[in-house]
Structures are given as structure tokens and as C-alpha cells.
């Protein structure tokens, strides 16, 4: 699978470990940074390019990591076509994709350890959107909010 990944200083070490494991598992990785540990960096500088790539289909799924995962999630969800969520359990990782077509997983580099993060990512990547009519209907309603943002 083509996967994009991004982080700021708060998730830098976790991202480095995850990139290695994702590549070893055979995934094609696009690393949007950070590429060095810089305490003054800002998560939007890395999450925005990741989110744009997810929305454009340049990557199939995205993974964003910041200190808590919250800032990355807020940022990613401002991009039309991105459905991001802070995930801390396997049920939500699977159900978020199956029911809500989640396409960008957010993690906290200071919250989840590498083994839990890897487990959540595997669940997220293995899940498929159900395309059930009720979920498609609900996502249509959510997507209509994006159109409202363009109305002044």
C-alpha cells in the first residue's frame, strides 16, 4: 500500500521506528517529515502536505504523529477529503475505516508506545470501507459540510 507519514518533534522518534517497520512490511512510504529532530517545528508544516496527498489520492492512507495526536488531527481534518481521527484502540482503528472511511490515522508520539502504535496501524491498514448504504449516506452528509465552507 502507498502510505504517507508525517510528524513534528513530538512524534519524531516514533515516526522513525514506524517508517522502518512499514517498509519492512512491504509498504511504499512517502515521508513528509520532519526529517530531523527540531523542537521549534510546527506540525501543520508536515501534516498539511500529508493531508493534501491523501485527499489527492497520491497516497492511499496517511499516518500523522504529533505529541498527543490532537493537533495533527485538528489540522488534517481542515483539508477537504481527509477523514482523520486520533486512534488509541483497535476497535476504533477498524471501525473508523469500515464505517467512516477513515483515511488518515493520528497518533500521539508521547502517548502510544511503538508496539501499540504498530498494532493500531496494522489494524487501520487492513480494514476496508464497507460501502454500506447507511455509511455512504452519512459520509455524504459530512462531505456536504465541506461545500458549506466555500459559501460566504
Kindly report the pTM of this predicted structure. Answer: 0.95
Fold entry, domain 2-148: Ribose 5-phosphate Isomerase B; Chain: A, (3.40.1400)
Please check the confidence at residue 50 and state whether its pLDDT lies above 80: yes
Question: In which band, very low, low, confident or very high, does the pLDDT at 86 lie, cut at 50, 70 and 90?
Answer: very high
Cell of 11: 512524534
Q: Is the pLDDT of residue 52 over 60?
A: yes
Judged against a pLDDT cut of 90, whether residue 133 lies above it is answered with yes
Q: What is the mean pLDDT of residues 109-134?
A: 97
Residue 152 has pLDDT above 60, yes or no: no
Query: DSSP string spanning the chain?
Result: -EEEEEE-GGGHHHHHHHHHHHHHTT-EEEE-S--S--TT--THHHHHHHHHHHHHTSSSEEEEEESSSHHHHHHHTTSTT--EEE--SHHHHHHHHHHH---EEEEETTTS-HHHHHHHHHHHHH------HHHHHHHHHHHHHHHHTT--
Told to judge if 66 belongs to the known catalytic residues of this protein, a careful annotator would answer yes
Amino acid at each position: 500500500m502507498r502510505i504517507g507519514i508525517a510528524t513534528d518533534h513530538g512524534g519524531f522518534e516514533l515516526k522513525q521506528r514506524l517508517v522502518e517497520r512499514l517498509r519492512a512490511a512491504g509498504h511504499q512510504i512517502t515521508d513528509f517529515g520532519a526529517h530531523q529532530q527540531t523542537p521549534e517545528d510546527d506540525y501543520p508544516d508536515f501534516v498539511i502536505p500529508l493531508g493534501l496527498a491523501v485527499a489527492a489520492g497520491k497516497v492511499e492512507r496517511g499516518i500523522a504523529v504529533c505529541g498527543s495526536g490532537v493537533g495533527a488531527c485538528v489540522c488534517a481534518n481542515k483539508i477537504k477529503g481527509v477523514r482523520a481521527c486520533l486512534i488509541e484502540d483497535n476497535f476504533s482503528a477498524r471501525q473508523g475505516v469500515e464505517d467512516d472511511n477513515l483515511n488518515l490515522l493520528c497518533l500521539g508520539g508521547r502517548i502510544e508506545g511503538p508496539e501499540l502504535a504498530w498494532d493500531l496501524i496494522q489494524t487501520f491498514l487492513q480494514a476496508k470501507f464497507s460501502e454500506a448504504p447507511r455509511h455512504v449516506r452519512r459520509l455524504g452528509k459530512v462531505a456536504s459540510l465541506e461545500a458549506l465552507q466555500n459559501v460566504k
